[in-house]
Amino acid sequence: MTERGLDRTLPGGMVIAPSILAADYARLGAEVAEAEDAGAEWFQLDVMDGHFVPNLTIGLPVLESLRAVSDSFLDVHLMIDNPGEFLEPFAEAGADMLTVHQEVSAHLHGDLHRIRELGCYAGVALNPATPAETLSEVLGYVDLVLVMTVNPGFGGQKFIAEAVPKISTVLRMAADRGLPPPAIQVDGGIDPASAPECAAAGASVFVAGSSVFRWAPGIAANMAALRDALAPYG
Protein backbone atom coordinates (compact mmCIF):
# COMPACT_ATOMS: atom_id res chain seq x y z
CA MET A 1 0.00 0.00 0.00
CA THR A 2 1.15 3.57 -0.62
CA GLU A 3 1.43 6.21 2.05
CA ARG A 4 -1.68 8.28 2.65
CA GLY A 5 -1.52 11.92 1.68
CA LEU A 6 -0.96 14.36 4.53
CA ASP A 7 -4.17 16.21 3.64
CA ARG A 8 -6.21 13.08 4.30
CA THR A 9 -8.81 13.61 7.02
CA LEU A 10 -11.02 11.32 9.04
CA PRO A 11 -14.82 11.42 8.73
CA GLY A 12 -16.24 14.67 10.07
CA GLY A 13 -18.93 15.40 12.61
CA MET A 14 -19.29 14.19 16.16
CA VAL A 15 -18.34 10.51 16.42
CA ILE A 16 -19.27 8.24 19.31
CA ALA A 17 -16.80 5.35 19.36
CA PRO A 18 -17.82 2.58 21.76
CA SER A 19 -14.86 0.91 23.44
CA ILE A 20 -15.18 -2.84 23.43
CA LEU A 21 -13.08 -2.94 26.60
CA ALA A 22 -16.38 -2.59 28.44
CA ALA A 23 -18.34 -5.08 26.35
CA ASP A 24 -19.38 -8.57 27.42
CA TYR A 25 -16.80 -10.71 25.61
CA ALA A 26 -19.07 -13.75 25.75
CA ARG A 27 -21.48 -11.71 23.58
CA LEU A 28 -19.02 -9.45 21.78
CA GLY A 29 -20.41 -9.90 18.26
CA ALA A 30 -23.97 -9.40 19.46
CA GLU A 31 -23.12 -6.31 21.51
CA VAL A 32 -21.19 -4.73 18.64
CA ALA A 33 -24.13 -5.43 16.32
CA GLU A 34 -26.50 -3.87 18.85
CA ALA A 35 -24.32 -0.76 19.02
CA GLU A 36 -24.21 -0.62 15.22
CA ASP A 37 -28.00 -0.82 15.12
CA ALA A 38 -28.00 2.14 17.54
CA GLY A 39 -25.85 4.17 15.14
CA ALA A 40 -22.25 3.29 16.01
CA GLU A 41 -19.92 3.22 13.01
CA TRP A 42 -16.58 3.36 14.87
CA PHE A 43 -15.26 1.09 17.63
CA GLN A 44 -12.11 1.34 19.71
CA LEU A 45 -10.08 -1.74 20.62
CA ASP A 46 -7.75 -1.25 23.57
CA VAL A 47 -4.63 -3.41 23.36
CA MET A 48 -2.74 -3.50 26.68
CA ASP A 49 0.41 -5.46 27.45
CA GLY A 50 0.77 -5.35 31.25
CA HIS A 51 3.99 -3.31 30.91
CA PHE A 52 3.19 0.15 29.61
CA VAL A 53 -0.13 -0.06 31.46
CA PRO A 54 -0.98 -2.30 34.43
CA ASN A 55 -3.48 -4.50 32.65
CA LEU A 56 -3.71 -7.19 29.97
CA THR A 57 -6.48 -7.12 27.39
CA ILE A 58 -7.03 -8.23 23.81
CA GLY A 59 -4.76 -8.94 20.87
CA LEU A 60 -4.83 -9.90 17.22
CA PRO A 61 -7.40 -12.74 17.42
CA VAL A 62 -10.11 -10.43 18.77
CA LEU A 63 -9.43 -7.84 16.08
CA GLU A 64 -9.50 -10.51 13.37
CA SER A 65 -12.75 -11.94 14.72
CA LEU A 66 -14.41 -8.54 14.90
CA ARG A 67 -13.20 -7.55 11.43
CA ALA A 68 -14.81 -10.71 10.06
CA VAL A 69 -18.27 -9.71 11.29
CA SER A 70 -18.19 -5.90 11.11
CA ASP A 71 -17.60 -3.28 8.43
CA SER A 72 -17.36 -0.52 11.03
CA PHE A 73 -14.26 1.65 11.47
CA LEU A 74 -11.92 -0.21 13.83
CA ASP A 75 -9.59 2.01 15.84
CA VAL A 76 -6.79 0.08 17.57
CA HIS A 77 -5.27 1.88 20.55
CA LEU A 78 -1.87 0.32 21.23
CA MET A 79 -1.09 0.76 24.91
CA ILE A 80 2.02 -1.36 24.62
CA ASP A 81 5.80 -1.12 24.81
CA ASN A 82 7.62 -1.06 21.47
CA PRO A 83 4.49 -0.41 19.38
CA GLY A 84 6.55 -0.15 16.21
CA GLU A 85 7.13 -3.91 16.32
CA PHE A 86 3.41 -4.64 16.08
CA LEU A 87 2.11 -2.17 13.49
CA GLU A 88 2.13 -4.54 10.53
CA PRO A 89 0.32 -7.44 12.27
CA PHE A 90 -2.47 -5.20 13.50
CA ALA A 91 -2.82 -3.51 10.11
CA GLU A 92 -3.04 -6.90 8.41
CA ALA A 93 -5.61 -8.07 10.98
CA GLY A 94 -8.00 -5.33 9.90
CA ALA A 95 -7.29 -2.10 11.78
CA ASP A 96 -8.46 1.09 10.09
CA MET A 97 -6.46 3.28 12.46
CA LEU A 98 -3.49 2.59 14.72
CA THR A 99 -2.81 4.89 17.66
CA VAL A 100 0.51 4.77 19.48
CA HIS A 101 1.52 6.56 22.66
CA GLN A 102 3.97 9.45 22.61
CA GLU A 103 5.35 8.25 25.95
CA VAL A 104 6.48 4.85 24.68
CA SER A 105 7.14 5.22 20.96
CA ALA A 106 10.91 5.53 20.74
CA HIS A 107 10.78 6.62 17.10
CA LEU A 108 7.42 8.35 16.91
CA HIS A 109 8.01 10.03 13.56
CA GLY A 110 8.98 6.70 12.00
CA ASP A 111 6.05 4.85 13.56
CA LEU A 112 3.57 7.39 12.20
CA HIS A 113 5.06 7.12 8.71
CA ARG A 114 4.92 3.33 8.89
CA ILE A 115 1.27 3.34 9.97
CA ARG A 116 0.37 5.36 6.89
CA GLU A 117 2.50 3.17 4.65
CA LEU A 118 0.42 0.23 5.90
CA GLY A 119 -2.75 2.00 4.73
CA CYS A 120 -4.07 2.94 8.16
CA TYR A 121 -4.86 6.29 9.69
CA ALA A 122 -2.17 7.40 12.14
CA GLY A 123 -3.04 8.42 15.69
CA VAL A 124 -0.92 9.47 18.64
CA ALA A 125 -2.07 9.42 22.25
CA LEU A 126 -1.11 11.61 25.20
CA ASN A 127 -1.48 10.54 28.81
CA PRO A 128 -3.05 13.10 31.17
CA ALA A 129 0.33 14.32 32.47
CA THR A 130 1.99 14.56 29.03
CA PRO A 131 2.09 18.10 27.59
CA ALA A 132 0.58 18.71 24.18
CA GLU A 133 3.77 20.46 23.14
CA THR A 134 5.58 17.12 22.92
CA LEU A 135 3.81 16.62 19.58
CA SER A 136 5.08 19.83 18.01
CA GLU A 137 7.45 18.05 15.60
CA VAL A 138 5.01 15.37 14.40
CA LEU A 139 1.68 17.17 14.03
CA GLY A 140 2.06 17.18 10.26
CA TYR A 141 2.06 13.37 10.24
CA VAL A 142 -0.96 12.54 12.39
CA ASP A 143 -4.60 12.13 11.47
CA LEU A 144 -5.81 12.04 15.07
CA VAL A 145 -4.58 13.04 18.52
CA LEU A 146 -6.02 11.07 21.42
CA VAL A 147 -6.18 13.12 24.61
CA MET A 148 -6.49 10.64 27.45
CA THR A 149 -8.88 11.87 30.12
CA VAL A 150 -7.96 9.05 32.51
CA ASN A 151 -4.67 7.30 33.18
CA PRO A 152 -4.72 4.37 30.75
CA GLY A 153 -5.13 0.79 31.85
CA PHE A 154 -8.67 0.30 33.12
CA GLY A 155 -12.21 1.22 32.15
CA GLY A 156 -14.71 2.93 34.39
CA GLN A 157 -12.33 5.54 35.81
CA LYS A 158 -13.20 9.09 36.85
CA PHE A 159 -12.87 11.77 34.17
CA ILE A 160 -9.78 14.02 34.59
CA ALA A 161 -11.01 17.49 33.62
CA GLU A 162 -7.50 18.97 33.81
CA ALA A 163 -6.65 17.20 30.54
CA VAL A 164 -9.31 19.06 28.54
CA PRO A 165 -7.27 22.23 27.79
CA LYS A 166 -4.84 20.10 25.78
CA ILE A 167 -7.56 19.76 23.13
CA SER A 168 -7.49 23.44 22.23
CA THR A 169 -3.70 23.53 22.63
CA VAL A 170 -3.23 20.84 19.97
CA LEU A 171 -5.62 22.58 17.59
CA ARG A 172 -3.88 25.91 18.13
CA MET A 173 -0.48 24.33 17.51
CA ALA A 174 -1.69 22.94 14.18
CA ALA A 175 -3.17 26.28 13.15
CA ASP A 176 0.03 28.13 14.08
CA ARG A 177 1.96 25.80 11.79
CA GLY A 178 -0.51 26.12 8.92
CA LEU A 179 -1.48 22.47 9.21
CA PRO A 180 -4.91 20.89 8.79
CA PRO A 181 -6.36 20.27 12.27
CA PRO A 182 -6.11 16.66 13.37
CA ALA A 183 -9.22 15.01 14.70
CA ILE A 184 -9.19 15.16 18.50
CA GLN A 185 -10.32 12.05 20.32
CA VAL A 186 -11.02 11.84 24.05
CA ASP A 187 -11.03 8.63 26.03
CA GLY A 188 -11.72 8.01 29.70
CA GLY A 189 -14.79 8.76 31.78
CA ILE A 190 -16.70 9.96 28.72
CA ASP A 191 -20.45 10.12 29.32
CA PRO A 192 -23.30 12.60 28.71
CA ALA A 193 -21.95 14.86 31.49
CA SER A 194 -18.29 15.02 30.40
CA ALA A 195 -18.60 14.78 26.61
CA PRO A 196 -19.98 18.32 26.09
CA GLU A 197 -17.02 19.88 27.92
CA CYS A 198 -14.67 18.09 25.53
CA ALA A 199 -16.75 19.01 22.49
CA ALA A 200 -16.73 22.67 23.47
CA ALA A 201 -12.91 22.54 23.52
CA GLY A 202 -12.79 21.02 20.02
CA ALA A 203 -12.97 17.24 20.42
CA SER A 204 -14.86 15.35 17.74
CA VAL A 205 -14.36 11.64 18.58
CA PHE A 206 -15.67 10.38 21.91
CA VAL A 207 -14.62 6.96 23.16
CA ALA A 208 -17.21 5.61 25.55
CA GLY A 209 -17.03 2.20 27.16
CA SER A 210 -18.97 1.78 30.38
CA SER A 211 -21.43 4.53 29.45
CA VAL A 212 -22.39 2.56 26.32
CA PHE A 213 -22.09 -1.11 27.24
CA ARG A 214 -22.61 -1.26 31.00
CA TRP A 215 -25.07 1.41 32.04
CA ALA A 216 -28.80 0.80 32.31
CA PRO A 217 -31.10 1.11 30.41
CA GLY A 218 -29.00 -0.44 27.64
CA ILE A 219 -26.84 0.16 24.59
CA ALA A 220 -29.38 1.89 22.34
CA ALA A 221 -30.57 4.27 25.06
CA ASN A 222 -27.00 5.00 26.15
CA MET A 223 -25.95 5.84 22.58
CA ALA A 224 -28.96 8.11 22.25
CA ALA A 225 -28.11 9.93 25.49
CA LEU A 226 -24.58 10.62 24.24
CA ARG A 227 -25.86 11.86 20.88
CA ASP A 228 -28.32 14.17 22.62
CA ALA A 229 -25.56 15.57 24.84
CA LEU A 230 -23.37 16.28 21.80
CA ALA A 231 -26.12 17.59 19.51
CA PRO A 232 -25.47 21.30 20.25
CA TYR A 233 -21.87 20.92 19.01
CA GLY A 234 -22.55 19.63 15.51
Q: What is d(CA 15, CA 205) in angstroms, rounded to the nearest whole number?
A: 5
Please give the positions annotated as active site. Answer: 46, 187
- Strand duo 121-126 + 144-148: pairing: parallel
What's 230's DSSP letter? H
Query: How far, rounded to the nearest angstrom, does the alpha carbon of residue 68 sit from its chain's CA centroid?
Result: 21
7: left (phi over 0), alpha (psi -120 to 50) or beta: alpha
Q: What is d(CA 19, CA 43) in angstroms, rounded to the nearest whole number?
A: 6
Looking at the DSSP assignment, which residues form a beta bridge with residue 183?
144
Q: What is d(CA 60, CA 66) in angstroms, rounded to the nearest whole number?
A: 10
Q: What are phi and psi of 49, to 5 degrees?
A: -110, 0
Query: How far, rounded to the nearest angstrom, does the alpha carbon of residue 135 sit from its chain's CA centroid?
Result: 17
Specify the DSSP element, H or E, that contains 184. strand 183-187
Looking at the DSSP assignment, which residues form a beta bridge with residue 45?
76
